[in-house]
Amino acid sequence: MPFVAYSQASDADEVQLIFNETLRNGKSYEWLKYLTTQVGHRLSGSTGAAEAVNWAKAELDNIADTVWLQPVMVPHWVRGIEEDAYIKGSNKKKNIPVNVCALGGSVGTGSGGITAKVVEVKSIEELAQLGSNRIKGNIVFFNRPMDVTLVRTFDAYMGAVDQRAMGPSEAARHGAIGVVVRSMGLNAEDNPHTGALRYESDAPKIPAIAISTRHADLLSQALKDEPALQFYFETHCETLPDVQSYNVIAELRGSEYPEEIILVGGHLDSWDLGDGAHDDGAGCVQSMEVLRIYKGLGITPKRTVRVVLFMNEENGLAGGREYALQAEQKGEYHMAAIEADEGGFTPRGFSMTASQEFRNQVMSWKPVLEPYGLYDFSHEGGGADIGPLSKFNIPLIGYMPDSQRYFDYHHTKEDTFDKVSKRELDMGAGCMAALIALIDKYGTQ
């Protein structure tokens, strides 16, 4: 297109200028490469998380008007030496090794592990129906797959993840000594998916692991063939005292309404399997790229555009809660908040928890957004880290890329830099920068 000064551009011209800038000069991919291959995994409390904070602040110092670190106390869970598990053979049968990983926050078994019979259930409700007489002294195997018929894979995830989050405490209430959970993945695969569990204060803490989907099917079939078989697993994870970490915050100050904040962000922490490329390195560097795009185009927003890289989304949400608390105490006004935490894939749209008036406003922008792949604005939701801002009754928005491949990598050792497309990553950054430009221009009604 012919050169058009940003200040003289129409909505469509502004959006095209934004995408041209990121597709030609974007730094998201370069940043992500360093974050994942040089820093690596960034579980809260780890040295990787601390290094990521310092790296992000240094990079943002080059593009933002103001950058600061917001202290937050975070949990410090460590996996320890590699887990071991197998289906115990009987008589002349050999033990069958299976791929497992400890769930985040789990207690360990210690040396020697645990061995017990296995009770397979599909739900927490089925567990309750069996009761303590069937469960006590055994290992509970939660084996409800994600629903493959749901096209939006995050809906499938939400329909299955309760067994991982709440299953260990529910099983412990009935006397179980350990828990095995089918990994949160849609395909038959060998990689186990970790993720956080939530121990309840009124239940004993028992060790819990995830088993790969392929080996979950193997275990299920083995139980059909031999209902009394035993299972062994050994883990060495532990929770250490909380440590201080930080949310990384940077902003471009608004020229006309600096007290009105448009937030964009992702979570800087990741699980210790893989390098957290899609979850959520992609969302962090895309949010940083929003500021770089505006700097590259010489855009001074009317309202303050603030990037927040949250700490501890994966196993506590301490960063999101602390940010909302500080915002309330300071009396800050947030006009809208956007989070990118669904991977660095091809753009599809934005989910929203917002008023119908704001939804209508976003739909009125569809003609200028749809050429860049943004057509779906129908889903509810924002993001875990910005969820605590709901008390301010503002639009909470989630960047929504294509979700079909996300759970191939989610919380596994396969979530690495080589799984990310530069083109898709840059497109996502452009999408968020475009939406923010429209909100900055027109407000949220």
Catalytic residue set: 313
Cα–Cα distance for residue pair 157/342, rounded to 1 Å:
12
Contacts of 334 (CB under 8 A, 6+ apart): 261, 262, 263, 327, 389, 392, 394
Cα–Cα distance for residue pair 133/356, rounded to 1 Å:
51
Please list, residue by residue across 344-355, b when 16 or more beta carbons sit within 10 angstroms of its beta carbon and e when fewer do: bbebbbbbbbbe
Query: Is residue 156 within a helix (H) or strand (E), and if so which, with residue range?
Result: helix 153-158
Count how many residues are written for the chain.
445
Evaluate whether 161 touches 195 at the Cβ level (below 8 Å).
yes
Cα–Cα distance for residue pair 382/364, rounded to 1 Å:
20
Task: For the chain, report the end-to-end CA distance as a whole number of angstroms.
Answer: 32
Of 174, 212, 207, 179, nearest to 194 (Cα)? Answer: 212
Output the six-digit token pair for 140: 């509970």
